[in-house]
Amino acid sequence: MPGPGPGGPSPADRDEQIRQVDRLLPQTQCTQCGYHGCKPYAEAIVDQQAPINRCPPGGAAGIVLLAALTGRAVMALDASCGVEAPRKIARIVADLCIGCTHCIRACPVDAIAGGPKRLHAIIPELCTGCALCLPPCPVDCIEMIEPPAALADWTRQDADAARGRLNRRDARLARLARSERSRLADQGATARTSGPPAGSSATFTSVSTPTATSTTSAQPSAVGLSPQTGAERKRVMIEAAVARARSRLNPPT
């Protein structure tokens, strides 16, 4: 496979070469190769920017396949990327999960089921073992375990199915991002057309001032305190949920 540039493949040929290389990669999207997923690594191989020995999940057998396809020499796995190891899958420790959804957002292949404030669960058949869901979990309740014997092998069919889920997820996220941009644009246009409401200043909204005798448990924004940003609110909610989970596991004696 010649690289890009003069004498290199046409854009259509390059796309086809990337598709062929990507097809030989395991599609765990684990990023151990140093690229953002299997396809970016395939692009780097085709563009002569990366050697063919950086994929630990593909291991020695994967290197042989890549060498045959690209015409490059077989070489040992680059140990700086990791070691070839038996397949593992993720598992959520149910008692600890606080339903924050961080793991769902991190999973590149939609292998986690759950919803806000609900117990989440890994779907073992779909889990590639990439471990990308572990770091975002605020309560460290995801562990990597050996799969049942029937799921010990990660086959070419598994990889193709994982690529399909990755592509569908990417398309869904792109759709959501487009619709969010259009919603914000509509909101901006409405605000510009209508202007500030009558009787209010252009930059501040009036809030009721709490009295010293007030006994209601008003929210901070309703009593004139600085409103929390979305990130701060999320952090406070997660900390409270973690505290609740811990007290469930270690009740005070």
Interface residues with ligand SF4 (CB under 6 A) are 25-26, 28-33, 35, 37-38, 41, 55-58, 90, 92, 97-103, 106-107, 109, 111-112, 114, 120, 122, 127-133, 136-137, 139, 141-142
Nearer to ligand SF4, 23 or 223 (CB): 23
Nearer to ligand SF4, 18 or 130 (CB): 130
E strands along the chain, which residues? 89-92, 112-113, 121-122, 142-145
> Residue 147 Cβ, how far from ligand SF4 at the closest point, in Å?
11
Nearer to ligand SF4, 168 or 178 (CB): 168
> Residue 192 Cβ, how far from ligand SF4 at the closest point, in Å?
39
CA distances from 189 to 185, 195, 200, 203 (A): 6, 10, 20, 17
In angstroms, the CA 168 to CA 108 distance is 10
> Residue 10 Cβ, how far from ligand SF4 at the closest point, in Å?
25
In angstroms, the CA 203 to CA 191 distance is 13
Nearer to ligand SF4, 184 or 240 (CB): 240
| Cβ count near 191 (within 10 Å) | 10
| Cβ count near 127 (within 10 Å) | 25
> Residue 142 Cβ, how far from ligand SF4 at the closest point, in Å?
5
> Residue 210 Cβ, how far from ligand SF4 at the closest point, in Å?
35
Nearer to ligand SF4, 17 or 29 (CB): 29
Output the six-digit token pair for 160.
């193709």
CB 82 within 8 A of CB 55: no
Residues 6+ apart with CB under 8 A from 32: 54, 55, 56, 57, 81, 82
